[in-house]
Amino acid sequence: MNRFQPVARELAATPGADSLCVMPAAPVSPFGEPADVDLSLFSLAGRTSVITGASRNIGAALAMGFAKAGSDLVLVARDEARLNDHAERVREASGRRVETVAADVTALDAAERIGEAVSRVGRLDILLNNAFTGGSTLGPITQSPDLVWDEVIGTNLLAPMRLCRAFAGELTASRGSIINVVSGSGLLPTPGMGAYGVSKAGLWMLTRYLAVELAPAVRVNALCPGITTPDGVADHPILEGLLPHVPLQRCAKPEELVGAAIYLASGAASYTTGELLIANGGRPW
């Protein structure tokens, strides 16, 4: 007898209970043998990923992680030398095909140039919008000039939207996925980071809309890192001041975001869309 059967019998004996559909009539245990766990679901073998902002810190780690998980790559950043250096490291470590596009994601021809690289590889399965700017100056919203709003909204919201729009067809054909990298500043206000926070809030809502509009073919999710520095060290007084709010009591290293991103990109997340995955050391803000 399973633990639901006494309850089911009692319900069945209750007058009028036959009009309720509470429990299945047959004694079906929900606790069968555990299904086989197929960890190959986490593999990105045979996929091609576009990753923007892939030359340093989080984007560089995601590029390395995706390649080691089996994905070919199209990597995007502005500084060509640094991008090519990292691409070569990824090729050597993974043996994957890695194309580079030295482009500013805000350029109107960025999608076209990235598309040419995608065509050379032959398919597109994953679009990871990671490139960003915090703005050339920080400060209260009422004191942030149009220049700051233009660069922040242009880089963090319009550029990802253009790439999603440009590649929706390829991603639909491959039943692929999109990951947009957002920020805690887009969920709750961070003093002095208003323009950045508003752009990331917009990116999160873009994620949710696209998850609805591109379903069921394309899954669209957001990844929210916590404070992440290349070596995991708080290298600025502002970061040191934030650490008491982080239960894990430290910054992240970029590679600590890789598993979450691979999950969202992979078949392991086949029933996850329109979702936000926060990897921020437990910071409740």
Ligand X SMILES: NC(=O)c1ccc[n+]([C@@H]2O[C@H](COP(=O)([O-])OP(=O)(O)OC[C@H]3O[C@@H](n4cnc5c(N)ncnc54)[C@H](OP(=O)(O)O)[C@@H]3O)[C@@H](O)[C@H]2O)c1
Interface region with ligand X, contact rule CB under 6 A, candidates 9-17, 71-79, 137-145, 167-175: 71-79
Assess 57 for contact with ligand X (CB under 6 A). Answer: yes
Assess 71 for contact with ligand X (CB under 6 A). Answer: no
Closer residue to ligand X in complex, CB, 69/77: 77
Closer residue to ligand X in complex, CB, 214/257: 257
Within residues 141-170, the interface with ligand X by CB under 6 A covers 155
Closer residue to ligand X in complex, CB, 44/87: 87
Interface region with ligand X, contact rule CB under 6 A, candidates 17-25, 77-85, 120-128, 265-273: 77-85
Binds ligand X by CB under 6 A, chosen from 77, 128, 163, 198: 77
Nearest of 281, 152, 154, 158 to residue 225 by alpha carbon: 281
Assess 59 for contact with ligand X (CB under 6 A). Answer: yes
Instruction: Please identify the residue of the shown chain whose CB is closest to the bound ligand X.
Output: 53
Binding mask 84-123 for ligand X (x = CB under 6 A): --------------------xxx-----------------
Interface region with ligand X, contact rule CB under 6 A, candidates 3-11, 39-47, 52-60, 66-74: 52-60
Closer residue to ligand X in complex, CB, 63/171: 63
d(CA 256, CA 268): 18
Assess 55 for contact with ligand X (CB under 6 A). Answer: yes
Nearest of 23, 33, 18, 17 to residue 3 by alpha carbon: 23
- The yes-or-no answer on residue 196 being catalytic is yes
The catalytic site residues sit at 196
Residues in the site for ligand X, rule: CB under 6 A? Answer: 52-59, 76-79, 82, 104-106, 130-133, 155, 181, 183, 225, 227-228
